[in-house]
A and B are shown apart, each in its own frame.
Chain A
Amino acid sequence: MSTAAREFLRNAAQKAADRANQRNIRRAIEHYNESAREGRARFLDWEAARQQCHEIKWEALNHLDEYLVEFEERVKERGGHVFWAETGEDARRYVADLAKSRGVRTIVKSKSMVTEEIHLTPALEKIGIQVLETDLGEFIVQLRNEPPSHIVMPAMHLSRGQISKLFQEKLGAEATEDPAKLVAVARQTLRRAFFSAEMGITGANFLIADSGMIAITTNEGNDRLGTAIPRIHVAITGIEKVLPRLEDLALFWPVLAAAGTGQRITVYNTLIGGPRAADEIDGPEEFHVILLDNGRTELLADAEQRDVLHCIRCGACLNACPVFRTIGGHAYGTTYSGPVGSVLTPHTRGLAEFQHLSFASSLCGACTSVCPVKIDLHHHLLQNRRNAVRASDRPWLERAAFSIWRWTMMGQRRFAAAGQLGRTLLRGLYAMGVEATPLDPLRPWTRRRAASAIPRKSFRAMWGQGGGKE
């Protein structure tokens, strides 16, 4: 078992027993479910919208080479810079070098999962730069010195009371659970930072090829302050975020809003195509876009699972997932949690180390049924399991067990005899009171469940003895 798997088991066991944590998560998801239901109902045909998103993403990924180059050309025409980062290390170094050479001391950051993926903030802090998260949820988890627990709702695992206590401890705020007052506390700290920062870092929800623009979506407008005031704007995003045409946003903006939060459209949608032009009154002097690969082209080469690159990071699959609802995002120990994280992480960080996430699912399929871009998520979990077996990455005992099981099931008499023997043994043992003790052969089952009564005869035995007669 890999280190990550052992850690996952430990964390998941702890979180599965933490009812308070589950209450926080469920409260947030309940609220989401209600809004998302309304959000989807606003579409004349939600299924058709999903299908169209799927097809546009399919087209974009099939011509990724052309669309990305088109995007780059447009950005450069307006005086922006485009850097192609093959790895997270490349991207981190680019930002660090840029910050050092421009004398940057403070950076305001808006929400970006890609920067989490490449661990950008710790790298910048190591060279003495202060990095401040400006999305409220991200601001909260940064104060707690922990990663976001959800792609869209980074602090969903916390109650209002926990946030209030945190603000009292870290910011000397007054005790209050009034959301408006809590927001005001954060705003006070953040506004000052927006005006002193020399650099703003954002992600990008979409890259628009034909117009060479990045599209950023937020509910707090922090991205606008972070890109309009500081001298330098750096946008970091995965290469899969490209859309062919500006008009595609007419579909993707409302779909992202409906699936992500249930809104008609997210509050702030910003399009940025370059640094401040001569006739403009605001905007940065420098505009840099970092296009991150970090394993994505390898996933693109996987014909079976390349649709994972359709992901628009709406978080709908996390909200729908009963495993996520039970253990929350942190237990996964990965940047991207929930179903999409379990599918994606083995590709980016190795199947041997992260295959356990594909097994930690009941394959219920709720994720696939809500995905707005129709990623075949739970079938990919199944394929990852198959790939793990093919790569001989499974324990020998399990391999042997399935070989024996197959041999038994290949003959009806063997199956009937094995079943009879097993039931007789269990009935005998249970009659002696071993149920749920360490001697119970079904211990992994009965540790957390009462054992069911074991019948004396099987269906086939009774059928053969005339039980099938009318």
Chain B
Amino acid sequence: MIKVHSAAGGTILTGRNFKPQANSMPKVSLFIPCFVDQLTPEVGFDVVRVLRRIGCEVEFPEAQTCCGQPAFNSGYWDDARPLAERFVRVFRASETVVCPSGSCTTMVRNFYPELLAGTALREEAASLGRRVFEFSEFLVNVARVTEVGAVFPHRVAFHDACHGLRELHIKNEPRELLRRVRGIDFVEMPLSEECCGFGGTFAVKFDMISAAMGETKAGNAEASGAEYVAAIDPSCLLHLDGILRRRKSRVQTIHLASILARTGAPAEAEPSKAVPQENR
């Protein structure tokens, strides 16, 4: 058992013996973006682990599919609209919705009101948008927790994913969480706010520009000396992971939730393995 002093002044426990202090955490409905569901499910489970550890009850509304952002950002608003309406219906009873992606959170909070303007669900969408939170902003601003009992003895740099940074104004929340991780060596990378080049369909429509932007980001991650580059958006990480591995970089990508989920227990999967053994 390790004792450390929390910022608030009290002594709390970290590592495997961490116990949540709060006793009235909100009940959380998970919003798992469609590509996280299909391609990086472990990020979803890492979110669940952290939320439960701090005392949240977690449910997963299984009727959810996609928020509609791919169509919306490609200009197909008429295809995106029924999905937005569907999303509002699926989550209408949820008290608090948490999503491990700044981009998908932005879609619901900032763009649903515009997309659903003039429809019956517009007001309900706007009110739902105020209950949907990106994972790090939920922890820091809603649950008021920065210490989640995580252990991650590695050098980590943080990439500011664009939608989180500029649409949701998330800048300090992930850093506050990372700085409280035991054993971590947190470093700032050069130009952390510059886009990694993913950009949805942009990544395949203009793959040469997207990849060149990714190379720049990869170079900056390497220059920071980090072993891991972390972010709050799995889409950036998917792109960056492909770029980094193609250039045989020693830097690996990791979602913030996957760092916070690690407590140093021997049974935990190696963080470097994107897909755990049992799901390969």
Contact = CB atoms under 8 A, between A and B. Distances in A.
Interface of A: 9, 12-13, 16-17, 22, 322-323, 325-327, 359-366, 368-369, 382, 384-390, 394, 398-399, 402-403, 405-406, 409-412, 415, 419, 422-423, 444-460, 462-464, 467-468, 470
A454 B42 CA distance: 12
Contacts of B82: 406, 410
Contact of A467 (B45, B72, B204, B205): B45
B91 interface: no
A457 B41 contact: yes
B246 A450 contact: yes
Instruction: Identify the interface centre among A409, A423, A448, A459: most chain B CB within 10 Å of its CB.
Output: A459
A359 B200 CA distance: 10
Contacts of B63: 412
Interface of B: 32, 34, 36-42, 44-45, 48, 52, 58, 60, 62-66, 68, 70-80, 82-83, 86, 162-163, 166-167, 193-195, 197-214, 216, 238-239, 241-243, 245-246, 274-275, 279-280
B75 A458 contact: no
Contacts of A382: 72-73, 75
Contact of B204 (A365, A444, A457): A444
A415 B66 contact: yes
A467 to B, nearest CB: 7
A9 B36 CA distance: 31
Given A326-B212, A415-B66, A389 B77 contact: yes
B197 A453 contact: no
A310 B45 CA distance: 47
Nearest to B42: A455
A449 B211 contact: yes
A460 B63 CA distance: 10
Contacts of A456: 279-280
A412 B62 contact: yes
A459 B32 contact: yes
Given A326-B212, A382-B73, A402-B79, A412 B206 contact: no
Prevailing SS type, chain B contact patch? helix
A470 B32 CA distance: 18
B39 A17 contact: no
A85 B173 CA distance: 53
Given A455-B279, A462-B45, A363 B73 contact: yes
B202 A12 contact: no
Contacts of A368: 166
B110 to A, nearest CB: 10
A18 B64 CA distance: 44
A386 B208 contact: no
Contacts of A464: 62
Contacts of A369: 166
A462 B60 CA distance: 12
A451 B209 contact: no
Contact of A459 (B41, B198, B202): B41
Given A389-B77, A402-B76, A459-B36, A448 B211 contact: yes
Nearest to A360: B206
A458 B275 CA distance: 11
Nearest to A385: B75
Contacts of A13: 208
Given A362-B199, A385-B74, A410-B65, 15 more contacts: A12-B206, A360-B202, A402-B79, A405-B70, A406-B71, A410-B86, A412-B65, A448-B207, A449-B239, A452-B40, A453-B275, A455-B41, A458-B38, A462-B279, A463-B60
